[in-house]
Amino acid sequence: MRYFDGNDFNMSNTCVAFGSFDGVHTGHRAVINKLLDTSKQGYTSVVLSFEYDEALLNEKKILSTEAEKQYLLSKNGPEVMISYKIDRENKDTPPERFIKEILVDKLGAKVVVAGTGNSNIKVLRECAQKYGYALVECDTVLADGEPVTSERIAKELTEGTLQKANELLGHSYLLMGKVMHGKALGRTVGMPTANLGFSQVKLLPAYGVFGTLSEIDGKNVKGLTNIGQRPSVDNYNYVTIETFLLDYSGDLYDKTIALEIYVYIRGVIKFNNLDEVKAQVVMDIESIRAYLDKT
């Protein structure tokens, strides 16, 4: 998959889907699958992903950074992904102008794929003949009778219902970032740890301990991940993402890893000493192995 970061691009003869694609959930996947199928008619498949300036988010948290979208879309995704920047200067661009100047003139769209629930579906229909593209519509994906949306998934994650969030996503919730130096507490209990840096606009699940898989140098490594403040053996009040890596050895510092959150294990517990931590970690690892060995 080719990747363009920014608004400087020019293409021709494309089949395009556009939007925030926040979470790359099952609703988005339906649009992408329709895009891929339609592109077989001889078009270049393009996903134009909106990347909002952080100042425009107004403290709203996002499900996926652009790097995470790129990671998810690289698996059975389009030929091209573009991270299209939206800032104060272009945020109020009228829909028809966006269609003409970006989709038609810059991307050379011959086909536009959109969900019937897209907020711009009416103007997309009205402009199709005028600007010479075909509009292919995709039915809204429902779960339990309600549309799958990024807002709905965010609510599930915030409320601690990870399994439901993952069902709506169609994949395990993903966190990507660079491994940073931490307190290396994992070494004291006989395991390497990875302390993951993360964007401040990234939505974290309700705090707790999770069974995870980390993709490291192309290999999946099972892990026990603590997300939240660290009351185990200290009282630091900042949030960390710390993964105890099972069956792994090696230097991870400054490497970018993809952390997939598979299952909630327990809430955060305050321990009195490292012996208590080690005993709990051993029990947690047994739970994680039992779950991940079945997936």
Q: What is the CATH number of domain 172-292?
A: 2.40.30.30
Tell me what pLDDT residue 125 has: 98
pLDDT tens readout for residues 263-279: 999 988 877 777 887 88
- Distance CA(183)–CA(160), nearest Å, equals 27
pLDDT at 187: 55
Q: Helices (H) and strands (E) in the chain — how many of each?
A: 9, 14
The residues that bridge with 228 in the sheet, in sequence order, are: 240
Query: Minimal CA–CA distance to 194: which of 169, 171, 214?
Result: 214
The residue with tokens 């100042």 is 55
pLDDT at 193: 84
Q: What is the pLDDT of residue 281?
A: 83
Going residue by residue through the chain, which has 295 residues, state the pLDDT in tens, using 9 for 90 and above: 999 999 999 999 999 999 999 999 999 999 999 999 999 999 999 999 999 999 999 989 999 999 999 999 998 899 999 999 999 999 999 999 999 999 999 999 999 999 999 999 999 999 999 999 999 999 999 999 999 999 999 999 999 999 999 999 999 999 999 999 765 555 555 667 889 999 999 999 999 999 999 999 889 999 999 998 765 555 566 789 999 888 888 888 889 999 999 999 998 887 777 788 788 888 888 888 888 887 6
Domain boundaries, the chain: 2-147, 172-292
Checking DSSP bridges between strand 208-216 and strand 44-52, what pairing results, if any?
unpaired
Query: Is 2-147's fold the same as 172-292's?
Result: no
Q: Which residues does 61 contact at the CB level (< 8 Å), separation at least 6?
A: 154, 201, 202, 203, 204
Is the domain spanning 2-147 CATH 3.40.50.300? The answer is: no
Strand 80-86 vs strand 44-52: parallel, antiparallel, or unpaired? Answer: parallel
**What's residue 236's pLDDT?**
62
CA quadruple 14, 15, 19, 20: dihedral sign: negative
Contact 288, 265 (CB under 8 A): yes
161 vs 157: CA distance, rounded Å: 6
Residues 6+ apart with CB under 8 A from 116: 137, 138, 139, 140
Q: What is the pLDDT of residue 154?
A: 98
Alpha helices in the chain (DSSP H): 26-39, 54-57, 66-73, 95-98, 121-131, 150-158, 162-169, 185-188, 274-292
